[in-house]
């Protein structure tokens, strides 16, 4: 394949991935009110089913996650020599999903998807919103391009995402315990529905190309 054809194919694949992910976000927007706000397993399973169907390379990643307001984040990243960061000063706040185990309250971690094109898919990151503590994720980071994300997760590196207000940090977890959660087994019909809706979007886009 010559350079021009390869460049054209890469551009087409990137455009197709963008359409698929936009359709995925739109599909979830039409469903999320019916489900628990912490439905990360359900949405990540549907996302990976959708991306697999449309032959978009990706990884499903279990993560530990912490959302912090800027006061907390700035202090943690500039600790004084005698400060271990274990206490919270006035105004500091963080919220997270940390241990990656299945317990009485469900999966104690978070589940996301990252494409080989470095696009992070976290459709339920709004579960970390705490506007009263200056933590607001915002729609812009539900599907978010993060340079090197695919490689960094593959190499078990931390990823930091600036939010509308605050910061969200992810650390990969070596666990598949989420597969024991009921939401992992609920996705089949929903995945088919999402694939059908996104196929229609791609057909319209193709007709208008």
pLDDT of residue 100: 53
Mean pLDDT of 78-84: 83
- Any residues with CB less than 8 A from the CB of 171 and at least 6 apart, and which? 63, 64, 65, 158, 159
Would you say residue 189 has pLDDT above 70?
yes
CB 153 within 8 A of CB 159: yes
Would you say residue 175 has pLDDT above 60?
yes
pLDDT band, residue 209 (cuts 50/70/90): very low
pLDDT of residue 76: 87
pTM: 0.86
Tokens representing 197?
């809706």
Burial of 9 (0-12, 13-18, 19+ CB in 10 A): exposed
What's the Cα-to-Cα distance from 30 to each of 23, 24, 35, 194, rounded to whole Å?
11, 10, 11, 11
Q: What is the mean pLDDT of the chain?
A: 88
């Amino acid at each position: 394949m010559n350079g021009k054809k390869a460049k054209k194919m890469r551009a087409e694949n990137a455009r197709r991935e963008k359409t698929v992910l936009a359709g995925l976000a739109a599909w979830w927007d039409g469903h999320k009110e019916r489900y628990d706000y912490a439905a990360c397993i359900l949405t990540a399973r549907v996302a990976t089913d959708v991306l697999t169907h449309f032959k978009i390379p990706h990884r499903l990643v279990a993560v530990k996650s912490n959302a912090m307001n800027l006061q907390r984040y700035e202090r943690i990243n500039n600790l004084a020599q005698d400060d271990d960061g274990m206490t919270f000063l006035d105004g500091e706040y963080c919220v997270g999903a940390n241990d990656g185990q299945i317990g009485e309250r469900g999966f104690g971690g978070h589940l996301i998807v990252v494409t080989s094109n470095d696009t992070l898919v976290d459709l339920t990151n709004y579960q970390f919103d705490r506007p009263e503590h200056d933590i607001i994720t915002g729609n812009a980071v539900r599907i978010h391009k993060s340079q090197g994300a695919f490689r960094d997760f593959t190499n078990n590196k931390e990823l930091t995402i600036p939010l509308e207000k605050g910061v969200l940090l992810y650390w990969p977890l070596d666990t598949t315990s989420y597969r024991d959660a009921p939401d992992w087994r609920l996705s089949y019909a929903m995945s088919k529905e999402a694939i059908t809706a996104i196929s229609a979007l791609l057909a319209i886009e193709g007709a208008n190309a």
